[in-house]
Amino acid sequence: MTALLVMAGCGGAQDVSKGTPASPSGSDPSSGGATSPGATGSGGLPEGFGAGPPGNGLTRFYDQRVSWARCDGGQCASIWVPLDYSDPNGQAITIKAKRQLATDPANRRGTLLIDPGGPGGSGIDYLGYIGLDKTVTAVYDVLGFDPRGVGQSTPVDCLSNAKLDAFVASDPTPDTPAEVKQLQQLSASFASGCVARSGPLLAHVSTVEVARDMDIIRAVVHDAKLDFFGASYGTYMGATYAALFPKKVGRMVLDGAVDPLAAPRQSAIAQAAGFDDALTSYLSYCVSQGKCPLGASVDAARSRVISLFKQLDANPLPTSSGRVVTEGLAFLGVIVPLYSRDSWPYLTQALQQALDGRGDTLLLLADIYADRQPDGTYANNSLEVQPAVNCLDHPETESLPRIEAGGRQFIDKAPVFGPAAMWWPYTCSNWPVAPSQPRPDFSAMGAPPILVVGTTRDPATPYEQAVKLAAELKSGVLLSRDGDGHTAYGSGNVCIQQAVDTFLVDGTPPAAGTMC
């Protein structure tokens, strides 16, 4: 998994060259593709959507009339947003959305936008598993959307399935000149593929642009304020929206918070340490169960995991499918069960099998992370979206010598995952497009209370990031869960559930600093 950033979240684009200032037409919004320059015809545009007079700017997007059609489990629509907000009369791209209507329409208070994180997570898919309490779904239309670049919306595309397989399986811990050269080649191939297959879209998938799209969605559903539930990277989306539109914030919950002001290197170190801490919690559980395949103590078990990764660097494990489990795939296979305590028994099974010389369960877990299907296709483009968004939000300049020189910082903080995490910044150090959006002021002055939720042993978004975000937001209110796993809502913690539900339904936040 060379230089592949680990998702904070759960867990083919055609050219989008700018067209004329005429109405964005000539494409089928259901494809999620961009419009053709200079094309004519209705192209499936929302009713009443026109170019408007020159200089009208964003009015045509805010005033568009969207047609919601029945779809599986809800209503679906295509919403148009500008490719480039500095050129609103130019090309438009598609945002796909799905909503489930409030079950108590007489007491409906508006629309609750949701996002599961990533970058690259599908808000449309999230609608099917978020598990909001019935008191919330009674009064809100719940709307999931795929952010620009993601899934059913106009998507980022970088590699063929076969090349993505090779990228994901590649060596995450290059420790010879030949392996470092391979890292350089793979990263260059990934970046050039993104340019060739995504076109101008690649420069316009920043979180600032996603947040501006969210404000258009707010207008399209006729809400004066934006109510939002974001998990993991979704908290970054929410915090960015609050920074840009503080007076338009309604009731906002940010669960599994990302600190938007963290420096890329420090963020990578913190995330690697978070996964190491989560692994320690798992190893304590494994040892306490008796007959842990990794050893009789936590230290012995940790050493065995490190040895297993090193072993796979040289000798991948066979599987019944004919594919082999490389160190990169094993790295993902171990990470996935750390997101939820309920998955720990699967990790024990995978590690026991690996020690016995087979990699089937580790491969299954790695494929779950990557959303790779048995036929070799990928269910979504999340692995390609991650660097595309992260490299615009947090541009990097670290050279290979500096990365190698700074490796000890990672290994000291995270002896298991640090040797791989030290290379994560490399992709962004060589990213082919530069950010065009300035960083907003994350104090979000003037916003109402924003509920920031953190979990003390969250592997993907370490708890201290929630603490920092709550402090950075002028109106941030910190709610904490003492526990394991990624994010807090839906974890079975009644205290968290009640606090979040009460805030969304009644607007009353818990006391700042509440620990559940």
What is the SS3 assignment for 352-421? HHHHCCCCHHHHHHHHHHHCECCCCCECCCHHHHHHHHHHHHCCCCCCHHHHHHCHHHHHHHCCCCHHHH
Per-residue pLDDT of the chain (516 residues; tens, 9 = 90+): 334 444 444 432 222 222 222 223 223 333 333 332 222 222 344 444 443 444 468 999 999 999 999 999 899 999 999 999 999 999 999 999 999 999 999 999 999 999 999 899 999 999 999 999 999 999 999 999 999 999 999 999 999 999 999 999 999 999 899 999 999 999 999 999 999 999 999 999 999 999 999 999 999 999 999 999 999 999 999 999 999 999 999 999 999 999 999 888 888 899 999 999 999 999 999 999 988 999 999 999 999 999 999 999 999 999 999 999 999 999 999 999 999 999 999 999 999 999 999 999 999 999 999 999 999 999 999 999 999 999 999 988 888 888 888 889 999 999 999 999 999 888 898 899 998 888 899 999 999 999 999 999 999 899 999 999 999 999 999 999 999 999 999 999 999 999 999 999 999 999 999 999
| pLDDT for the residue 265 | 86
d(CA 84, CA 377): 31
Please, are residues 472 and 439 in contact by the beta-carbon 8 Å criterion?
Answer: no
410 closest CA partner among 419, 402, 401: 419
Could you give the maximum distance between any two Cα atoms of the chain, in Å? Answer: 73
Token pair for 125: 């898919």
Quote the distance between the C-alpha of residue 503 and its chain's center. 24
| pLDDT for the residue 400 | 87
- Backbone phi, then psi, for 481, in 5-degree steps? -115, 130
Conformation bin of residue 73: beta by default, left when phi > 0, alpha when psi is -120 to 50: left
With residue 484 as reference, give the H or E element that holds it: strand 476-484
| pLDDT for the residue 303 | 96
d(CA 289, CA 351): 15
Q: SS3 helix, strand, coil % of the chain, rounded to 5?
A: 45, 15, 45
Q: Which amino acid is residue 16, in one-letter code?
A: V
| pLDDT for the residue 36 | 27
User: Is 475 considered catalytic here?
Assistant: no
- Backbone phi, then psi, for 43, in 5-degree steps? 60, 20
Which residue of the set 277, 360, 458, 484 is catalytic?
458
Per the omega criterion (within 30 degrees of 0), is the bond before 105 cis? no
Distances (CA, A) of 239 to 255, 263, 393, 498: 11, 16, 13, 22
477 closest CA partner among 501, 494, 499, 505: 499
d(CA 295, CA 288): 11
Contacts of residue 220, Cβ cutoff 8 Å, sequence gap at least 6: 62, 64, 66, 79
Residue found under tokens 């082919």: 432
| pLDDT for the residue 173 | 94
Token pair for 219: 């207008």
User: Is 458 considered catalytic here?
Assistant: yes
| pLDDT for the residue 56 | 61
User: Is 222 considered catalytic here?
Assistant: no
| pLDDT for the residue 343 | 94
Which residue of the set 157, 276, 277, 486 is catalytic?
486
Residue 30 per-residue DSSP state? G
* DSSP line for 58-104: THHHHT--PPPEEETTEEEEEEEEES-TT-TTS-EEEEEEEEE--S-
| pLDDT for the residue 494 | 97
Number of alpha carbons in the 13 Å side-chain half-sphere of residue 218: 19
Residue found under tokens 């993505």: 164
In terms of Cβ atoms closer than 10 Å to its own Cβ (0-12, 13-18, 19+), residue 510 is: buried
d(CA 159, CA 255): 32
In terms of Cβ atoms closer than 10 Å to its own Cβ (0-12, 13-18, 19+), residue 332 is: buried
Residue 189 has a CB neighbour count (10 Å cut-off) of: 15
With residue 276 as reference, give the H or E element that holds it: helix 264-288
452 closest CA partner among 207, 208, 193, 259: 259
Please, are residues 461 and 256 in contact by the beta-carbon 8 Å criterion?
Answer: yes
d(CA 381, CA 128): 19
Distances (CA, A) of 17 to 37, 86, 91, 216, 337: 7, 15, 7, 22, 41
Burial 344-357 (b: 16+ CB within 10 A, else e): bebbbbbbebbeee
